[in-house]
Chain A
Amino acid sequence: MQLKQTLIIAVALSVIGIAAWELYWRDQGKIPDLDDDKNLWAVQRAEVENASKNDVVLLGSSRVLFDIQLDEWEKETGVRPIQLACAGGSPIPTFHDIVNYTDFKGTILVGVTPGLFFSTTFPEAGPWKRPQTRIDYYEDRTYAQRLNHWLSLPLQKNLAFVSTSEEGWSDDIDLKSLLNTIDIGNRTGKPKDPPFYAFQYIDEDRNNYMSERTATDTAFANSIQRVWKFFIMSNTNPPDKESTTKFFVDDAKKFMERGGNLILLRCPSSGWLKGGEDKFLPRTEYWDTLVNATNAKAYHYEDYEQLKHLECPEWSHLSAPDARYFTTELVKIMKSDGALSNSKTN
């Protein structure tokens, strides 16, 4: 066998093939980006183990992830927060994990997205399972998995075609995702999920921001709005205010009793989504009840003139410039209230 010749041909063709693939996807507008996966989350979760009383941990759903910008927060306070918000998830499991399995006594900011926060305490339900899966992964991850993550970062940062995502975006370009876009008829007769395209970028420390396209291309923003509509309209489970509030309040008391600083935050929403939240999860019944029960410092964006007029391009999250503005103004408000008392602020 002339294996040397075979190897040379294989290497040459592989390099050509992969380079062509990379160039093709860059030409299609793809850029190298990181995946907000369990590895990225676990690295931040590990930071909590050594966090001091001055540190700040951000919990919540995607709204905290999009709307709180770490650079602006750090600029205002001198402390870079640890971002542990989890898109599509309730913050309660992560809060429970930190309160019960660490001795963290700094500041925890909990974002309250009513539809997710008050959804459930059932471990198998999506809003609970999503963050819990990450918590479990953090607990169980092996040294090999940690090493794999560190080795994958330079590839993710430099190659556009490396794009496998945990979320499974409709515009992912790994082979499985590309094959999943092939549709022949509708054999099952079930309505198809609307396409859900990635609409953000994330940094290594999980500083996350909305893509410019989402903020400027109305048709694209509308495609995300259709996804929110689909999720909300197909969810038949009623909110579980009592269980979620009780579960959270028990942990909140425990955290504050040991000297922790708890802050609740309601981030902006707009349009049809805001209308639905006002109608089915009204502030007086949900947010106010939670604030009263926890007795924590609480910030609702509608209470502040400088925040209440912000518009979300796809109803649920702020554009990158608005998120920077929101963060700066919010921190100023919290500082003036002395809400960041645990944190050494400038």
Chain B
Amino acid sequence: MLFNSLSFVLFLVIVLALYYSKIFNWTNKKRLLLFASYVFYGLWNPPLVILLWISTIVDWVAGKKLAVEENQRKRKLWLLLSMCVNLGFLGFFKYRDFMLDNFTSVVNSYGYGYQAQPMDIILPMGISFYTFQTMSYTIDMYLKRTERARTFLDFALYVTFFPQLVAGPIVRAQDLVTQFYEEKKATINQFIWGLFLLTIGLFQKVVLADTLLSDTADTVFGSKDILTGLDAWTGTLAFSGQIFFDFAGYSTCAIGVALMLGIILPDNFKYPYAAIGFSDFWRRWHITLSTWLRDYLYIPLGGNKHGVVRMYSALMITMLLGGLWHGAAWTFVVWGAIHGIYLVIERMLRGKIHIKINAFSGILLALLTYTLVNITWVFFRAREFSVAKNMIYSMLSLNGDGEKLLGTFDIVKVMSLISILFICHWVMRNTSMKEVSQKTSPIVLGIVWAIMFFLIAISQGSGEQFIYFQF
């Protein structure tokens, strides 16, 4: 089920009505949320709920054993079981065809005429998110960083909680399971603020991403022609806006819906396009994945405690795997690799160049960071390297004359919107929506809210899937 759909509106109304009715005690309310979460997922593809159940049961059992087992070897085996099941699902459903393609290419490069049979397996929605979330529980249990979930119901709800099930935020057990121990009820202000966040999220997705930006990005990246620099930049900037509004929109909806239930989810985006440098960017973009990769990959690989070579290697491996997490294609690996290289260069320069950040230098550095981030988006969006190469060459004016693909209005629309986006991120970089709202008059806030709702209503999105569902 998608947040930007009529079925979700009906679903949410029913869930909220039952959740706040007097007929259920807290345990039954949790059962209701768990059942609703399975309905939320199952309305897309009922049989794939079984994968959720398997992940839940395996990690519940592993966590239970890790809580009492002292034998280090056995503890490792329980952790290994959890990782094998979760990564096994991910490998089979997400990476099987990719691995098979690469295996076929390698084998055939030695002259074998091997023909792989594609399995055409459906990718379970949100598998990358919920497997990472549930794995974090067993890893934390293994490292004794968290306590065991008190009941199976609490744990199952942690794995399956519908607002963040399919596209995050990826939440740690200690941040979410513990909220299920005592009855939660949103205050009036929390409820209304949650509704406001849901509206903002839908506005970002339906109006900004799908209505104003997606067509331009699709047109440019769907073209096989060599384009002018202006067209290539417009398409790339449009995609940078589209993916931000699409993904941040989902996270904002998720946080809003959870808040309406009295549950607090962590922020996933903090105005990333105003980042100064790439470490700053990853502290602001998909924060819950960045911190997951930091805690469960970068630090175990050595982090910054074992010298620069190991640190750079850990950084590169983390970013390469982070790229691969996003999609089973080499273009995603290259996207991760470029980000890894950016981070390595930034760390190398950190001790050598000292720039005092003021308003002027800050905005210039933020612009530089955003420009370089856009180069990476080309690889993220392009389905083939040939398209990415043509785009990069056009953006760097290395292609000579190219085709003019976009109309003047498209270019004006994208450039205006992206400029506003960048300025908003810059203005908001050290504050939060809540802080700004608190300083805004209720009338102005009400008018802004109404405008967003009106634009959502007249956009009438056709229920486009969120980009991150495919990851």
Contact = CB atoms under 8 A, between A and B. Distances in A.
B460 A148 contact: no
B359 interface: no
A1 B189 CA distance: 8
Given A3-B193, A144-B5, A161-B458, A184 B407 contact: yes
Interface in B185-239: 188-189, 192-193, 195-196, 207, 210-212, 215
Interface stretch (A9-17, A206-214, A307-315, A338-346): A9-17
22 contacts: A3-B192, A4-B192, A6-B446, A7-B192, A7-B446, A9-B445, A10-B445, A10-B447, A10-B449, A13-B454, A14-B453, A14-B454, A18-B457, A21-B454, A143-B43, A151-B6, A162-B460, A174-B460, A179-B211, A179-B212, A186-B407, A187-B404
A5 interface: yes
Interface in B145-179: none
A144 B2 contact: yes
A143 B46 CA distance: 9
A188 interface: yes
B65 interface: no
Given A9-B442, A10-B446, A21-B454, A183 B6 contact: no
B451 to A, nearest CB: 8
Q: How large is the interface on B (under 10, 10 to 19, 20 to 34, 35 or more residues)?
A: 35 or more
Contacts of A29: none
B44 interface: yes
Contacts of A11: 450
Contacts, number: 135
A183 to B, nearest CB: 6
B238 to A, nearest CB: 14
Interface stretch (B248-256, B374-382, B408-416): B408-416
A175 interface: yes
Nearest to A166: B462
A152 B196 CA distance: 24
Given A152-B6, A162-B460, A175 B446 contact: no
Interface in A183-238: 183-189
A70 B420 CA distance: 52
Contacts of A17: 450, 454
Contacts of B7: 144, 147-148, 151
B459 A148 contact: no
Given A17-B454, A176-B215, A179-B413, A188 B404 contact: yes
A142 interface: yes
B106 interface: no
Contacts of B46: 143
Interface string B434-454: 000110001101110111011
A18 B409 contact: no
Interface string B32-71: 0000000000111110000000000000000000000000
A167 to B, nearest CB: 12
Contact of B463 (A1, A5, A148, A186): A148
B329 interface: no
Contacts of A186: 407
A164 B462 contact: yes
Contacts of B449: 6-7, 9-10, 14
B374 to A, nearest CB: 22
A60 B459 CA distance: 32
Interface in A133-189: 142-145, 147-148, 151-152, 155, 161-164, 166, 173-176, 179, 182-189
